[in-house]
Structure 1
């Protein structure tokens, strides 16, 4: 008899877990749809809709080479981006413990913002759901087990806003028209292979150094300061590769991101874009 009841209890646990998983995923999808509707509803009509090479005149030499390499004359300005990713995410700060993930992301360039919706596999059938968001000048990081049990919820603070704006800035290689001076980016010369870029959105200003390859593409981005929390700030950055033409723009499909410790960089993200589509300024 005990074998029978053990089997019944096991089935009930499996069924309950399946129901919880389905419900959590459904509820999370509703949250994603709401966030992205807010992003789209705030989208502004862009004053400039075509890239004019004249606007890069006077920029540092490696920056001019970059735009000449990744954009064609008359390239439409990117208004929004939808992309899918897959890769590995390291949730452990002390050692390498990589978990596979998949994600979708919506990016809006005016006013700038994004929502990254990820599933990080913690174990077979057990996912952490993550929203990493920058919306109307405010950042938010929300992680949940199965979409039901909150693991982390970091709301809008000046430090988080700075970190999320830095993420937008570094990822602009996927939508390179967002790095043009007409889109608010201010470039400063460093040397023949690097330049500093600055971006302000509302009350938040960020700055980072882009390093350029010999072919004109960007190899790395580094920010001297990104806040991990309200008290801890560290150097942060990423590297990019596998450049491919998408809708007339040369963009990297693969990248790695990490924090810079005194002993070296500890990566926490390794990802590849599997799909990307653009909405251009009308």
Structure 2
């Protein structure tokens, strides 16, 4: 039991370090690229391009690196390459506000208002009224399409929003991916099956070793499946373990057997939290490569 307490303690430390950070994935990613962003914003486009090109080589799925390499491409006079980079960034995370906004601006520069409007509509949605820029650029797209009335509405809203944001600054729009997405629902279904398997093992195992082994492997799978939402799946599995054991099984008459099952049950719950934190930590470490 002392060993399980130590594991739970270190699992909690992992949680504080890796789960309690409420920044979105794109915000965390941008924080690791501040050197290149500073180069771009100071006008050192060639150096910024080399920086982001190198980072993409190290981490090919970095949507923020693609965003800034695309901006560098635009400044260097390569609009087609810029669009290609922005689209690559969207292929890895299509919930990043800036990617849709910059893609819309690039399409406008190429006189492709219909494509620009599609991107800017998404930027307006993801912006969540935290920025007036999407309305400014969408008004331009609508004007090119001859939809003057809608363009005027956007320009009016842009003006009102800018005035509002002067007195009530909003948090910059970033990655706004929904918490309960399709992937999470699928993984919840997986948790139902692993919980049922674990209850079965607890009821039939002759020692604590097999339940603990199953609990550890299932919990590590939780962390790999959902490196940022694994805490929810871990809680769900613990609830299902308790419900499944006490509501759908018969408690043994033999006291020794009952103690064995209780030790297996509660130990498995502790291991579920600890191992899920560890699995999520390992998955995030692998994603950084």
TM-score when scaled to structure 1? 0.24
Computing the radius of gyration from Cα coordinates, the structure with the larger value is 2
Higher strand share: 1
Higher helix share: 2
TM-score when scaled to structure 2? 0.24
